[in-house]
Amino acid sequence: MSTPVTHPGEPILQVNDLKKHFAITGGLFSTITGFVYAVDGVSFSIDRGETLSLVGESGCGKSTVGKAILRLFTITEGQVVLNGQRIDELSSAALRPLRKSMQVVFQDPFSSLNPRMRVRDILAEPITNFGLATNEAEIDERIGKLMDKVGLPRDAVNRWPHEFSGGQRQRIGIARALAAEPDIIICDEAVSALDVSVKAQIVNLLCDLQKELGLALLFISHDLAIVEHMTHRIAVMYLGKIVEKGTRDQIFSAPMHPYTKALLSAVPIPDPDAKRERILLKGDVPSPINPPKGCRFNTRCPYAFDRCRSEEPELRQMAHKHVAACHLHDLPAAENPLLTGTIKNA
């Protein structure tokens, strides 16, 4: 039985203390030998017409968050609330009509479209499944409008997916998501596989559609440079946890976590005279099977001190809408390198 937990004016999507631990099994009897702590207590919300970007290196758990929201598997703990209704505990049958509100655009436009279906049939499927048209003429009218919206010619509906470029296929993927008339679209690395110029076109298209339709977007990306010009807020993930969350300006102008600083230092600056010192992180993200004790970032953090290796920092308020999890903020401001701007490499 689902429980309404929000009220009018509520966010489109709320994720409360979400955890997803995958069991590792082994031996003759497939006994559980451990867990992959892929997502370990993640919370955020997204309002109508808002874009929240979930960023972090590959392996940080951000795509698992997207899949958990889409209910591609059962979550371990927490809540996922869509339009005021908990969906994490619904049966597949009860969830089916609610899927209309929440659509997805995947990373790979080559594998996410059925190669044996013409574009018309790909777009007709959600329209029919969610009862949005009563006859073929209505379906065709909707499909024509969807093609207009994503900037593809109407007469391309009779073509097969393989006849399109990567960018055009991603436009078809977006049209398919829009066909259901959703409230929110989850874009899971939706532009990562595309060439740089095509990336910008697809990001611009998503922004335009968002403004026109009042859509909420959860934009999952490993690349802060992509989200810089299109997001309202950013949540930075590291090893299954959110380590910093804030508005775009807060994250880009005043990052309050060493990991965010390091990610930002790799973002190219368009002004050739402007300088941004690069912070190089040692090694890869540690295994989520056995995350480091204390702060999970301590094995790569250039500022780590003893406390970081024993005590996990909580997210704390830095400013309105801005939180970060780092022990450095317990130091006097003059000794906090994140505030004094002292760059240190690992």
C-beta closer to ligand SF4: residue 103 or 298: 298
C-beta closer to ligand SF4: residue 168 or 298: 298
Question: C-beta of 310: minimal distance to ligand SF4 in Å?
Answer: 11
Contacts of 216 (CB under 8 A, 6+ apart): 12, 13, 46, 47, 48, 49, 50, 51, 52, 183, 184, 185, 210
C-beta closer to ligand SF4: residue 171 or 257: 257
C-beta closer to ligand SF4: residue 220 or 328: 328
Q: Is 324 in the site for ligand SF4 (CB under 6 A)?
A: no
Round to whole Å and give the CA distance between 85 and 213.
Answer: 22
C-beta closer to ligand SF4: residue 106 or 259: 259
C-beta closer to ligand SF4: residue 40 or 183: 40
Question: C-beta of 240: minimal distance to ligand SF4 in Å?
Answer: 14
Q: Is 236 in the site for ligand SF4 (CB under 6 A)?
A: no
Question: C-beta of 93: minimal distance to ligand SF4 in Å?
Answer: 44
Q: CA 139 → CA 16, 48, 298, distances in Å?
A: 38, 27, 55
Q: Is 60 in the site for ligand SF4 (CB under 6 A)?
A: no
Strand 102-105 versus strand 184-188 pairing type: parallel
Instruction: Give exposure, 239-259, as e/b (b: 16+ Cβ within 10 Å).
Output: bbbbbbbbbbebbbeebbbbb
Question: C-beta of 263: minimal distance to ligand SF4 in Å?
Answer: 13
Q: Is 327 in the site for ligand SF4 (CB under 6 A)?
A: yes
Alpha helix segments (H runs only) across the chain: 62-69, 92-95, 119-129, 136-149, 166-179, 196-213, 224-227, 248-253, 258-265, 337-340
C-beta closer to ligand SF4: residue 182 or 240: 240
Question: C-beta of 60: minimal distance to ligand SF4 in Å?
Answer: 14
278-307 mask for ligand SF4 (x: CB under 6 A)?
A: -----------------x-xx--x-xx---
Q: Is 238 in the site for ligand SF4 (CB under 6 A)?
A: no
Task: Return the closest-CA partner of residue 12 out of 98, 89, 90.
Answer: 98
CB 259 within 8 A of CB 246: no
C-beta closer to ligand SF4: residue 65 or 301: 301
Q: Is 308 in the site for ligand SF4 (CB under 6 A)?
A: yes
CB 328 within 8 A of CB 257: no
Task: Return the closest-CA partner of residue 104 out of 72, 78, 143.
Answer: 72
Contacts of 191 (CB under 8 A, 6+ apart): 170, 198, 199, 202, 203, 221, 226
User: φ, ψ for residue 77 (rounded to 5)?
Assistant: -155, 165
CA atoms within 13 A on the CB side of 268: 3
Give the one residue of 258, 261, 262, 279 binding ligand SF4; rule: CB under 6 A. 258
Question: C-beta of 236: minimal distance to ligand SF4 in Å?
Answer: 11
Question: C-beta of 286: minimal distance to ligand SF4 in Å?
Answer: 12
Q: Is 328 in the site for ligand SF4 (CB under 6 A)?
A: yes
Six token digits for residue 201: 């076109």
- Rule CB under 6 A: which residues touch ligand SF4? 257-258, 295, 297-298, 301, 303-304, 308, 313, 326-328
